[in-house]
């Protein structure tokens, strides 16, 4: 175990997971439209393992973060855009 000078936050990790990993899980494991919680949780565990090995999160973060909400149910994130007139 070592101290890391800079790590990402849980919110950042979840956002990146939802943008890059979760769509692949949905495409490969949820073709029938049914949420596959075990597949989502496994993908999250693999994701955080990779983040820890790449020193993007600490050992403590890896050991203490719980599964995000998107692993248990369908979550729709809305992005807010601003129009400049």
Q: Break the chain into its structural domains and give their ranges.
A: 10-71
State the residue for tokens 């979840």.
14
Predicted confidence band of residue 5 (pLDDT cuts 50, 70, 90): confident
Annotate 8-77 with DSSP letters as a single string. Answer: --HHHHHHHIIIIIHHHHHHHH-TTS---HHHHHHHHHHHHHHHHHTTSS-HHHHHHPPPPGGGTS----
Does the pLDDT of residue 1 top 60, yes or no?
A: no
Identify the H or E element spanning 69. none
Confidence (pTM): 0.81
What confidence category does residue 72 fall into, taking pLDDT thresholds of 50, 70 and 90?
confident
Model confidence pLDDT, tens digit, residues 8-47: 999 999 999 999 999 999 999 999 989 999 999 999 999 9
**pLDDT band, very low/low/confident/very high, at 78 (cuts 50, 70, 90):** very low
> Does the pLDDT value for residue 69 go beyond 50?
yes
């Amino acid at each position: 175990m070592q101290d890391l000078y800079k790590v990402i936050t849980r919110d950042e990790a979840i956002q990146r997971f939802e943008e890059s990993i979760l769509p692949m899980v949905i495409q490969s494991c949820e073709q029938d439209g049914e949420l596959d919680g075990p597949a989502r949780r496994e993908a999250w565990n693999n994701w955080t393992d990779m983040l820890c090995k790449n020193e993007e999160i600490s050992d403590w973060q890896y050991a203490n973060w719980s599964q995000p909400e998107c692993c248990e149910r369908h979550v729709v994130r809305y992005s807010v855009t601003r129009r400049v007139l």
